[in-house]
Amino acid sequence: MALFGVDETVIAVLAPFAAALVAPTAVRMFWHNAAWLLAIVPALVFLHFFSYVGAVSQGQTFEEGFAWVRGYGVNFTFYLDGLAVLFALIVSGIGTLIILYAGGYMKGHPQQGRFMSFLFLFMGSMLGVVTGSNLLTLFIFWELTSITSFLLIGFDHLLAASRRAAMQALVVTGGGGLALLAGLLMIMNVTGETEMSNVIVSGEALRNSSLYIPILIMVLLGAFTKSAQFPFHFWLPNAMEAPTPVSAFLHSATMVKAGVYLLMRLNPVLGDTAAWITILPFFGGLTLLVGTLLAVRQTDLKLILAYTTVASLGLLVMLTGAGSEVAIEGAVIYLFAHALFKGSLFMVAGLVDHECGTRDLMRLGGLRKAMPITFLAAVLAALSMGGLPPFIGFIGKEMLYDGTWNLADNALLLTVVAVLGNGLMLAAAFGVAFKPFLGAPTKTPKHAHEGPVLMWLGPLTLAFCGLAAAVGIGWTGGSLIAPMAGAPVHGDYHLIPAHISAPFYLSLITIALGLFIFCRLDAVRQIMARVLKAIGWGPDRGFDQFISLVVRFAGVFTAIVQPGKMQVYMNTVFVVVALALLVPMGLYGEAPSMPAMPDFHFYEWLVLALIVMGVIAVLVARTRLIAIVSLGIQGFAVAVLYMLFGAPDLSFTQFMVETLSVVILALVMTRLNLSAHDNRPFRETISHAVIAIAGGIGFGALLLAVTQVPFDSRLSDFFAANSRVVAHGRNIVNVIIVDFRGFDTMGEISVVMITGLAILALIRVRKRGGKKEETPPGDGSLAPVSDAKPEVAP
């Protein structure tokens, strides 16, 4: 389908970016009520992707877009199947509610328009990730999610904690993104494909490739960092420094699931190997247990939910790597359920914080009468998160237990891990939903009251969706879950309804375990506090130590390579140039043969003698001013050679350039207050001589090698044939400079201009206190700049 000649899916993905442009203006005009207007954009995007549900449920796929950078095979294309459509519905559907929620949550904030703009930028980036077909386009959107997440986490940039959390998230997810880029490039190299729709049918080529393990490692690094898998899990709880709409949208329902999406998308080509079914269940299960144990330790509502999100992501990764089709179905339906109940609970936590002034469980209680709608949303979402009927979370738990229980390998181990993790998660969910609302009312920093409709509409809607999805499981399973599960396993699968079997009994055990932990939540919290105190060190502290080590290393390295001495810089440059010229010639046997002595005319001998005298004059000069003037002799001698060989225009240009260079350099040197003498150690003089000779031999050898190669006249013939016809110029040299390499000439002019500005700055340099530099003695005796390091401000 196309609208105005552009595919509608392209418009749908780009629509949030357009909304980001108008959001600040809309907020200035309508204040917080602009949320109602702005929410129309993601709502329309939701309706667009919803229109594909019927087709993808029947196994159809769609690819839309256009060629972007043809020469590199980069296309702006989008691939829609069950997996992409469900993710797009989650992003746009929850995004609609988040925009409304943000309107109420950020009411009165002076930067609400900027905040809305950032949200839309992220929304568009996430839509590009889950629908992108071209691998490089997908990577661009992948990195955009990291950048926009950085902007949203650090929105309260005046707070040190927000800045640290934003930088931490950017470093971790950005580093993983670079690893993912390497993996995608290797996939393109092995398969010869750039479109995801073609890659996912190239499973045997990838699994049999010698690059399979490097590809797997790079992809897993990208997915694990984005989806906060152990040991990269620490950035997600720290990201709770962001405003609650960010936590509800990015860090529960959408961005953190990008890694899970990637693993599901690439399961047909990277899965079903020993490495895949070992690494993913191990790290996923470990993340599940670590996340839930740390969750019950917390008293901050958002931190509890953040750690349970980490745990849920671990559960999804574990199921994705389990190697079972039923486990994949369990992962898919749990992912769908998690987006609903976790988005709702995060918004509930924000509502409580917004209307009570705190989100500390120890300071909250008895809010059910003051906030009845919020209480209802919290209970419905928590029951789904706890896996109780008749909610979608219960069906998801049944399916995932069915997937782990019937595995061929490690069935018992993974089932036990899943039961423990889900039991702890139920306790954490009930802690968030019941502790603040039941019991005796407590005194809160703000008078507790129900929030505005903009804030409770989202959590209540998502909570009821979790109930409706379970009640209408026939349509949910057939239209959403089964098509999405079919993409990771490349087949047609249908949701298995809940029934009395092993998964049902495992659900009962989970519920009993969760209720037991919930009733003893304070004791469990104290035990976890003692355990963490005994451990002492964790990945979060390790990240700080790593950054500190990088900073110290950067300081030492910079002190070595940037010591503040021009002499060191020049020596380094010329040593590298000499090595680059001489080493390849020696390694590859490309050194030129010694040419025969040319038969010079007497005037050519005079020019050669002039050049030699100029070199000697530079070497024996006592001051730099004399050396500069003597150096000009070489340029003038070259100009004479141009003239002798029939290039008067080049000769004239060389005369002018050399004259200006000598004059300007002499002017600068006379304005600098340098010491009177240049007393260099003999060892330094010898080293400089060796470097200079090596560089001279290298350039000379290169020129001889070039001239000894048969002349290729194709470029000369092209200029001769086209200078008059194309550029309408008779002087071929001028045409080349002005027309054929005009941009290069503009660059040279820019360099000359910048150099002139630098020279002007040197001439006008002043001493501290405002006094101008004193001019040197009248004889112009100059010496090099002192080697002493300049003072550095603390």
pLDDT tens for 317-363 read 999 998 788 888 889 999 999 999 999 999 999 999 999 999 999 89
- HEC profile of 20-37: HHHHHHHHHHHHHHHHHH
In-domain check, residue 443: yes
In-domain check, residue 162: no
Residue 4: which pLDDT band, with cuts at 50, 70 and 90? Answer: very low
Q: Is the pLDDT of residue 675 over 60?
A: no
Query: What are the beta bridge partners of residue 63?
Result: 79
In-domain check, residue 225: no
Please calculate the CA angle 601-607-609 and round it to the nearest 5 degrees: 105
Residue 779: which pLDDT band, with cuts at 50, 70 and 90? Answer: very low
Lowest pLDDT segment from 12-16, 25-29, 558-562: 558-562
Residue 328 contacts by C-beta under 8 Å, 6 or more apart in sequence?
264, 267, 319, 320, 322, 403, 485, 488, 489, 493
pLDDT at residue number 263: 94
How confident is the prediction for the chain on average, in pLDDT?
86
With pLDDT > 70 as the criterion, what percentage of the chain qualifies?
92
Q: Is the pLDDT of residue 757 over 70?
A: yes
How far from 451 is each of 30, 235, 351, 464, CA to CA, in Å?
20, 30, 7, 18
In-domain check, residue 318: yes
Residue 671: which pLDDT band, with cuts at 50, 70 and 90? Answer: low
Residue 785: which pLDDT band, with cuts at 50, 70 and 90? Answer: very low
- HEC profile of 494-552: CCCCCCCCHHHHHHHHHHHHHHHHHHCHHHHHHHHHHHHHHHCCCHHHHHHHHHHHHHH
Place of tokens 């550029």: 727
pLDDT digits (tens, 9 = 90+) for 700-728: 999 998 888 888 888 888 888 888 888 88
- HEC profile of 735-762: HHHHHHCHHHHHHHHHHHHHHHHHHHHH
Lowest pLDDT segment from 38-42, 683-687, 764-768: 764-768
Residue 484: which pLDDT band, with cuts at 50, 70 and 90? Answer: confident
In-domain check, residue 326: yes
**Strands 62-69, 6-7: parallel, antiparallel or unpaired by DSSP?**
unpaired
CA distance 331 to 429: 19
pLDDT digits (tens, 9 = 90+) for 373-429: 999 999 999 999 999 989 999 998 888 898 898 887 888 999 999 999 999 999 999
DSSP-assigned letter for residue 452? P
pLDDT winner (highest mean) among 85-89, 649-653, 703-707, 742-746: 85-89
In-domain check, residue 354: yes
pLDDT digits (tens, 9 = 90+) for 573-624: 999 999 999 999 888 888 888 888 778 788 888 888 888 888 888 888 777 7
What's the pTM value of the predicted model, to 2 decimals? 0.79
pLDDT at residue number 25: 95
Number of structural domains found in the chain: 1
In-domain check, residue 211: no
In-domain check, residue 356: yes
pLDDT digits (tens, 9 = 90+) for 81-138: 989 999 999 999 999 999 999 999 999 899 999 999 999 999 999 999 999 999 999 9
pLDDT at residue number 76: 87
Closest CA to 411 of 320, 323, 486, 488: 323
| pLDDT top residue among 541 and 181 | 181
pLDDT mean over 16-21: 96
Range of the domain at 433: 292-519
